[in-house]
Structure 1
């Protein structure tokens, strides 16, 4: 599913287990848009948006629908590095 200028998919069970996560959405490809401008890279697993858990790309669409101003994106890279990004909507 394409959201925010990137291809997103539910993170698979092995990825989640390796990072000790229960949920997350993986950024498979960054084509442009808000993901690229914020600095989010491919492989990043989004775990929360504005402190709300995300399990599926549809959760992200739902949480961003009608948003304005800034949005906090929390997650982790495959190497275990946690990261936080602010997106302007």
Structure 2
């Protein structure tokens, strides 16, 4: 509010009780979800499955040839 910017995220109300929001809101939500999801890819091979052996504190990539320790993707790579 101090910046004077207005976010119009999810604020399109419909007359019908079960109406849907605008397509722009849905596209924004989907883009934000994809950016969030991309943070959980293996930084070495790009796969999304991890395993966590009991003896280790950090998950490992579940691909047999990779098994790199889990690291969050850099923020610049996730904001396309």
> TM-score, normalized by length of structure 1?
0.25
Which of the pair is proportionally richer in strand?
A: 1
Bigger-Rg structure (1/2): 2
Higher relative contact order (CA 8 A, sep 6+): 1
> TM-score, normalized by length of structure 2?
0.26
